[in-house]
Chain A
Amino acid sequence: MKGGRLRRAWPYLLALGPGLLAASAGNDAGGIATYASAGATYGYGLLWAMVLVTLFVGVVQEMSARMGAVTGKGFSDLVRESFSLRVTALILLTLFIANAGIIVSEFIGIAAAAELFGVSRYFAVPVAAVFVWLLVTRGTYARVEKIFLTLTLAFLAYIGAAFLAHPDWHAVFRETVLPHPRLLDVGYLNLLIALIGTTISPYMQLYVQSSVVEKGVTPEEYRYTRFDVIIGTVSAGLVAMFIIIATAATLHKHGILQVDTAERAALALEPIAGPFAKALFGLGLLGASLLAAGVLPLSTTYVMSEAFGFERGVSRTWSEAPIFMGLFTGLVLLGAVLALIPGLPLIKVLVGVYVLNGLLLPIELFAMLRLVNDKELMGEHVNGPLYNLLAWGIAIIVSLLSLLLIGQTVLGWFGVGT
């Protein structure tokens, strides 16, 4: 009997992969900075949002994976084939800007990690850029990917740190279920949108959908993929919550309300790692940043080239695929150069990138909703009415929050508001 149950569980376990990976990829340099900032500045005050955001991510990732399984096509393919060219250009442009921002943030992550180890970023960032460029164009990236991925496990230490810091569990629970949202506080709203932006990054949806397409998952096998998506989302959400708890119970409690340097973010790991907190944090940050600094420029370039039909592939020469190679090189260069601007407030920029991501997100969400509800594409696998209510609700809430932030910011310029 037990064997039978095990056999039924096996396909689910085998399917664990893309969803889990995509969700953990959210915990990159920008993600950590955002969660740490949320914990330091507002204590447990944003925990409730993390629960909601996790639900949002789950819904959005699930739709992406389902679209991949049913249509057998990637998101940008579907956009190009279903929307008019002008709308396609708009959607892909926002995707491009969002991804370019994140690429910059990854190089900032590399800079911050290097400085934790006392290495100048003017040395580390150019070296990392050349390293990543060579790895990808020589086709050896896949071999080192696992090393980077292993390094990111360092962030799991936040879970231990959260427990060892003896947080006020009552407050944790209360703030999670009975929140006091401060939506008129620009700083709070900023972080709320950054939380959404970093957790529901468009590139994660692209990744989930394209890996489902790559594997040739059929609608019949889709439930295993859905299981993977749910597990991935929940575990990434939990890690994010523990980062908030750990920083709230250490930094916030001791009056450190701003996480403006990587050292401060590392401080939250002291309860578990003691004097090694900085090293542990630095390794995790380096791994996560290098991982995404290689994957993102490449996948962004693929998405753009595929949608517009440019010759593509890292094995091509410059003369064979000038736009592909130029775009890839340009993105790596852009990330590296911007990360080297002297006096750049690193952590602020990291959070800022995700605010931008959150602001651009509604465009992707509405495009996704159009596609997932297209009967000709999805047949019987379109959203059900209740699910649609939830999905539309998410898209509208995210859009309203974005509008609210823009409004607040504009009012702020005129000296009105907080």
Chain B
Amino acid sequence: MIFLTSLVDRPVLGQAGETIGKLEDLIVRIGDSYPSVTGLVVKDGRRRFFVPASHLADLNGAALLASSIVDLAPFTRRDSEVLLRRDVLDHQLIDITGRRIVRVNDVQLTRVEGTYRVVGVDVSPQALLRRLGPRALANRIVGRQIIDWSDVQYLASTAPVQLKVSYDRLADLHPVDLARIVDALSYRESAEIVAALDEETAAETLEEVSDERVADLLEGMDQERAADILEEMTPAAAADALEDLEDDVAEQLLARMEPEEAADVQALMAYDEDSAGRIMTTDFVRVAENATVGDALAIVRSLEEVPDPLLAVYIVAVDDPDLLRGIVRLRALILASPQTPVLEVMDEDVPTVGPEDRAEDAARVLAEYNLLAVPVLGADGHLLGIVTVDDALAVLLPEIWQRRGARAGFA
């Protein structure tokens, strides 16, 4: 086991044991699954030299070169090359399994078939103490917390050179965890992460990110992509995000969205932030009152995108799809025989709320009547949308508790 901090600033020895200089840094290519050391930066006085890894005989204890006569080319930074000490040590990484941001306190290297490779990072406080105290005491401090390199995500913005970094590992993170990380990182790092996500994941992630950060991220990215992500978000989340943007930017984004999705979002934006109208979803299934249970199920199955969660279908007048007659819960729909008219299994006495009612009041109705969703009716009695338990929960619980719960649930 070789650790970076026990190598740097130590002498680099030639074949005959003569000192060539001090080891300043190790160069690695970050694209490999375990980055391989491609060269050394050796410092002699004020000059910094590049020594290719092919000259390296041994790294254990001190860097030992295979040949004494080295072609001492001055060191310059090049794209796709990362310096372990300058760009990895002491920098932040994402620990994918731990679903958190860590800071690298040491880098572990190992020799695999003649090549030195980075295999892990030490994030333990002990590693800090070892480096802080005098070198003689360093060995007395025990304890490491190594994270395997295949389990971390390196951010390309960390190094001051052009890097191609694979973000495949981010796919292992749940959008809720991604959101927490996006919130905790600086804007630029979070923008890098969101840029690496596909539109659907980006949308699911941004739904959980704080409103201000979402606004900054949307404003900072290409408008076409921002509009695509907004389309994937729930209309309520998209409305919240757009409201935090400057009016002209919000308008431009809405104009780039699919007209149908944009209209949904704009309809919600007409209501106050903490109103039932704002948190309601317009995504629900309408069934005409003359249909049978079998027809209703067929309608659900024929939908291109079935609402999730699907809690009930909404029975409306034959000639006016906005006139609510009642609801048929999914349970009733499944238990009844297909020939049964929906009117027979329909609940007529459904409590409703108005779009201007406070979101908390809608949540209270849900709790009092033990409902999974409550219809939202406009002033003219027309059906506008439904507020589901999911939507209401987000209002009732402060954001932090929601996050903590999500974390406990996935642990």
Contact = CB atoms under 8 A, between A and B. Distances in A.
Interface of A: 72-74, 77, 80-81, 85-86, 88-89, 138-140, 213-216, 306-317, 320, 376-377
B379 interface: no
Given A86-B132, A213-B186, 18 more contacts: A73-B186, A74-B186, A77-B186, A80-B90, A80-B103, A85-B132, A138-B398, A138-B400, A140-B398, A216-B217, A216-B220, A308-B125, A309-B101, A313-B180, A315-B400, A315-B403, A316-B404, A377-B160
A306 B185 CA distance: 10
Contacts, number: 69
A139 B398 contact: yes
Contacts of B131: 85-86
Nearest to B103: A309
11 contacts: A72-B187, A81-B90, A85-B128, A88-B90, A89-B132, A215-B216, A216-B191, A308-B128, A309-B101, A314-B400, A315-B403
Contacts of B191: 216
Contacts of A316: 404
Interface string B142-172: 0000000000000001001000000000000
Top 3 A-B residue pairs of the complex, sorted by shortest distance between their CB atoms: A309-B103, A216-B187, A72-B188
Interface residues of B, number: 34
Interface string B302-337: 000000000000000000000000000000000000
A140 B401 CA distance: 12
Contact of A309 (B92, B186, B187, B189): B92
A18 to B, nearest CB: 13
Given A215-B216, A309-B105, A85 B187 contact: no
B123 to A, nearest CB: 6
Contacts of B132: 85-86, 89
Contacts of A307: 103
A138 B101 CA distance: 22
Nearest to B402: A315
Contact of A81 (B91, B125, B398): B91
A74 B189 CA distance: 12
Contacts of B104: 309
A214 B183 CA distance: 10
Contact of B404 (A308, A310, A317): A317
Contacts of A214: 186-187, 212
Contacts of A320: 407
B396 interface: no
Contacts of A216: 187-188, 191, 216-217, 220
A139 B123 CA distance: 28
Nearest to B5: A85
Nearest to B102: A309
Interface in B216-262: 216-217, 220
A307 B407 CA distance: 24
B18 interface: no
A315 B399 CA distance: 9
Contacts of B403: 315
Interface in B366-408: 398-401, 403-404, 407
A72 B400 CA distance: 26
A80 B132 CA distance: 13
Interface in B121-142: 123, 125, 128, 131-132
A335 to B, nearest CB: 24
Nearest to A88: B90
B195 to A, nearest CB: 13
A81 B186 CA distance: 15
B174 interface: no
B216 A139 contact: no
B100 interface: yes
A136 to B, nearest CB: 11
Contact of A215 (B105, B157, B187): B187
B186 A72 contact: yes
Contact of B123 (A86, A88, A138, A309): A309
A313 B184 contact: yes
Nearest to B9: A84
B210 to A, nearest CB: 10
A74 B90 CA distance: 14
Interface string B97-114: 000111111000000000
B131 to A, nearest CB: 5
B177 to A, nearest CB: 12
Contact of B187 (A140, A213, A313, A315): A213
Nearest to A217: B187
A317 B399 CA distance: 15
A138 B100 CA distance: 21
A65 to B, nearest CB: 14
A157 B203 CA distance: 49
Contacts of B125: 308, 310
A74, A85, A306, A314: most-surrounded residue (chain B CB, <10 A): A85
